[in-house]
Every structure is written in structure tokens, then in C-alpha cells.
Amino acid sequence: MSPNISCLIYDMDGLLLDTEGIYTEVTQQIVGEYGKVFDWSVKEKIIGRRSIQAAEIIVESLDLPISPQDYLDSRKDVLLEKFKDTEALPGAKEMTTHFFKLGIPQAIATSSSSPMFEAKFEKHKKWFSQFTQIVRGDDPELKEGKPAPDIFLLAAKRLGVDPAECLVFEDAPTGTEAALAAGMSVVVVPDPNMHHSNYKNASQIISSLKDFDPEYWGLPKFAESI
């Protein structure tokens, strides 16, 4: 039996916004200068993590002759420019708009830092106004990033709801682990390259937000398919 869901919390990158390809492109440009290849074996380790954690993994995994901060500094301006044209992923706008019209509280819990978030947010201000709360990776109240549960617990606290009544949408194993650690249910929409075995104990795995069935979770059904 599904729990009583009263609010929805979304990851952003790779779940609401199509940003993962941009990250991959820019990362390969940087590591390529050192004769390295940023392939899936490295990418799958960093999806959903805070930028500094991801940078540490990239530098160590590829044995780059630069520091994690050097890596972040070298990509910042390029990413900020490219993120201005970020598109929504299929079903994302339609789904959140459906629940917004019904008055169901929604939040974003993203590992993105404020500068990166603002670049992505610029094109989607009207859409993102639907979210009651947006917690970013560099929030001053946030102690640990995903896979720690802190970001989801902080979102629930600010929404004023019990974690057990929150349904989280994630694409990353680290985010899935964080949501479960927070005592929340979690629907996973994984990257097609990610093996489902990386999402142990996920409440549900679907291939796209367009495949989400609200009624399965006791939520009002979509008026039409999204």
C-alpha cells in the first residue's frame, strides 16, 4: 500500500532539466587537454553529487595533474554560458504544473551551487515559481550533500511536512540513497546507461516522467497524458 503522500520533491539536473549532456561535453573538453577520456565508468560515480565531490572523483579517477578546484575553475564560465539554454526533460513541466494547479506543495532539492542554479533558472523563472521551496547544494543550513539525507530533510522541514509523506523524484543513485535515508519514498528516472541494480530499495523505477502514474501513489490523476 502506498504511503500518504502530501508533497513532492524533485532533483533538478537530469530529472527536470536536460543538463547532463552539457556537463559531459564540457568535462571531456577539459580532461581531453590531458589526454584523458571522461567515459561512463567515471560519470556514473559523480551523478547527483556536489560539484567539489564530483571534481575530486574526476581528478583522482583520471589522474589529472590539477587540483579539484582547478578543474572547477576551468569549467565555470563555459558551463554558466551553456546552461542559459537548458531545456526541460519530457513530462517535467506538464507534471509539476498539474500538481501546482492542485495546490500540492513541491520543492526542488539540487546539488547545484547557487551560480550554476541561477544560470539554469534564468530561462525557467515562470516554471520554477511553482516550487514552494528550492534548496541548493551550497545552502548555508546544509551540512552534507547527497547521499546524506540532509538536503531532503531540509526541504521537508521548510515545507512543514513529515518526511514520510514526501515523494522524491531522482535520477542518481546518490540522490536515491539520500531520499531513502531521509525516510521518504523515491521514484527513480535513471539515465538509460545506468544499471537498475544501482538503485537498491527504490520505491519505483520508470523510464521517463511521462510514465509516472499519480494514482499509484494516491495522487490525483493527470487530466490527459503528459
Known catalytic residues are 11, 13
Q: Is 202:11 a contact under the CB 8 Å cutoff? A: no
Q: Which whole-number Å values give the CA distances from 47 to 6, 98, 192, 201, in the listed order?
A: 27, 28, 13, 18
Cell of 33: 587537454
Strands (E) in the chain, as ranges, are: 7-10, 106-109, 133-135, 166-170, 185-188, 204-205
Bridge partners (DSSP) of residue 186 are 168
